[in-house]
């Protein structure tokens, strides 16, 4: 996960460096608005999870900003639709 955070940070810094010569106020405001939207998404939708090697379970680091959605437990008795058999291209009748 640290790799992912580092990669995101590098990408964001690269984008700011790429656009540092822009002087048009409207364009700058647009880019800053996009950056704020991305930051909000990262802060509210992405969580870090740490593996507990003893139990094999993960512990998620949830903050007050994290958006929590309703999860429905999986019903092992649910009847799932059968998968359709794939047809190979050379089996298609014309």
What is d(CA 36, CA 15) in angstroms, rounded to the nearest whole number? 13
The answer to whether the predicted template modeling score (pTM) of the entire model surpasses 0.85 is: no
The reported pLDDT for the residue numbered 91 is 63
What is d(CA 49, CA 52) in angstroms, rounded to the nearest whole number? 10
Per-residue pLDDT tens over the stretch 43-93: 888 888 889 999 999 998 888 888 888 877 888 888 888 887 777 776 666
Per-residue pLDDT tens over the stretch 5-35: 788 888 888 988 999 899 999 999 998 898 8
Tokens representing residue 81 in the block: 């639709």
Angle at 62 between CA 38 and CA 41, to 5 degrees: 10
């Amino acid at each position: 996960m640290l790799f992912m955070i580092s990669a995101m940070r590098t990408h964001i810094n690269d984008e700011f460096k790429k656009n540092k010569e822009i002087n048009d106020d409207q364009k700058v405001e647009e880019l800053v608005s996009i950056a704020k939207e991305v930051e909000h998404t990262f802060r509210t939708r992405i969580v870090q999870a740490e593996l507990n090697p003893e139990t094999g379970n993960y512990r998620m680091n949830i903050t007050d900003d994290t958006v929590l959605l309703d999860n429905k437990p999986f019903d092992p008795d649910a009847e799932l639709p059968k998968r359709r058999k794939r047809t190979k291209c050379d089996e298609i009748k014309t």
